[in-house]
């Protein structure tokens, strides 16, 4: 029973792309197959159902290596490999999926691969002998492996977009902090910042997709991506909680999903942002009062989770500023270490904007 559950593992396309990325043994085998001007059909995982959907072939049960897969691809038929890419179970295997299963593919090998991916939970890889193209199929959907140079060029462009957007966003967030400390943030101000955050997030997700395709060849770009976009995910969520009528984490996730969906299809407007945050009656120039979670999180003496506790006690950032100007020692009761430093930090942030 344990073996059956392992073989029934449901892959994601992300996992399939990672399996076939540069630097992996499977990708090395695929590169050799292409260089050898060969075609191939390879099934990975869900081996019980794969074997049930075909016949003949040679039972092997040998350890998987890239060289062995390349040599076996010289024969007709498919190669069947376990889900962990540890054993080659069958070679020269004739796949016979249900011909009534729908597919838009035209070539015989690709049609078979697409139908096998619908018939089973396996990752099915088809290498076209004539076109020298590799397609990965999962649940009837196809992903074509692109040349490394092509993916690298796109990743470089996306990294440039990410860097430029982050520079603009940093300036916008500095300005927003200044407006928050002066208590004069408008709905238009936060709409512009949300729009920039969405541009950054979309570029970041697209870049992560490219890096998944690049595998180990994208390690350097991944370090750059993480450095540029690493802390913006938390800043985005904190900013939503700062301005939403419902400041809970659950509400922030829902709001963020709505903002993302709108930003993908259309430009974010002040009307949409106001309604999504829970303020349908606000105009573009309406003043928005932030909680202050994002600003407090930038102060070194505020430990993780402490910002919520502080604002539960004081209400908003402005209430906090007003209260601690005269009585910073009140923060002692909340467990804030060095409350005077917190007060001084907020004052310096106000003065330095």
pLDDT tens track for 97-126: 888 888 887 788 888 999 999 999 999 999
DSSP bridge partners of 267: none
Answer yes or no: are the C-beta atoms of 92 and 75 closer than 8 Å.
Answer: yes
**2-145: CATH class:** alpha beta
**Matching CATH number, 147-290, of 3.40.50.11540, 1.10.357.10, 1.20.1260.110, 1.10.1380.10:** 1.20.1260.110
pTM: 0.80
Out of 14-28, 117-131, 289-303, least confident range = 289-303
pLDDT tens figures, 231-251: 898 899 999 999 999 989 999
Instruction: State the pLDDT at residue 4.
Output: 42
Domain ranges of the chain: 2-145, 147-290, 293-353
């Amino acid at each position: 029973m344990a073996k059956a559950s392992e073989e029934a593992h449901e892959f994601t396309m992300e996992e399939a792309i990672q399996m076939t990325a540069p630097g992996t043994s499977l990708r090395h085998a695929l590169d050799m197959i292409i260089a050898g001007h060969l075609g191939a059909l390879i099934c990975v995982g869900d081996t019980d159902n794969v074997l049930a959907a075909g016949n003949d072939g040679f039972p092997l049960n040998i350890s998987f290596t890239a060289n062995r897969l390349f040599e076996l691809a010289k024969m007709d038929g498919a190669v069947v490999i376990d889900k962990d890419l540890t054993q080659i179970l069958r070679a020269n295997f004739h796949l016979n999926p249900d011909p009534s299963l729908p597919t838009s593919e035209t070539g015989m090998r690709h049609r078979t691969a697409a139908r096998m991916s619908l018939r089973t939970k396996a990752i099915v890889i088809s290498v076209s002998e004539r076109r020298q193209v590799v397609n990965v199929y999962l649940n009837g959907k196809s992903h074509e492996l692109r040349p490394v140079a092509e993916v690298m060029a796109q990743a470089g462009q996306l990294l440039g977009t990410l860097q430029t957007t982050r520079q603009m966003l940093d300036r916008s967030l500095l300005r927003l902090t200044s407006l928050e400390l002066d208590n004069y943030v408008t709905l238009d101000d936060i709409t512009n910042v949300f729009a920039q955050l969405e541009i950054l997030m979309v570029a970041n997700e697209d870049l992560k997709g490219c890096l998944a395709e690049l595998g180990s060849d994208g390690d350097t770009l991944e370090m750059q991506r993480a450095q540029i976009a690493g802390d913006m995910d938390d800043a985005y969520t904190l900013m939503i909680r700062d301005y939403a009528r419902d400041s809970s984490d659950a509400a922030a996730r829902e709001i963020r999903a709505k903002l993302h969906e709108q930003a993908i299809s259309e430009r974010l407007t002040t009307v949409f942002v106001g309604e999504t945050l829970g303020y349908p009656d606000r105009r573009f120039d309406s003043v928005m009062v932030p909680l202050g979670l994002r600003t407090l999180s930038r102060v070194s003496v505020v430990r993780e989770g402490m910002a919520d506790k502080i604002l539960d006690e004081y209400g908003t950032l402005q209430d906090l500023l007003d209260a601690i100007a005269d009585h910073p020692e009140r923060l002692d009761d909340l467990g804030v270490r060095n409350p005077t430093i917190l007060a001084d930090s907020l004052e310096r942030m106000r003065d330095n904007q």
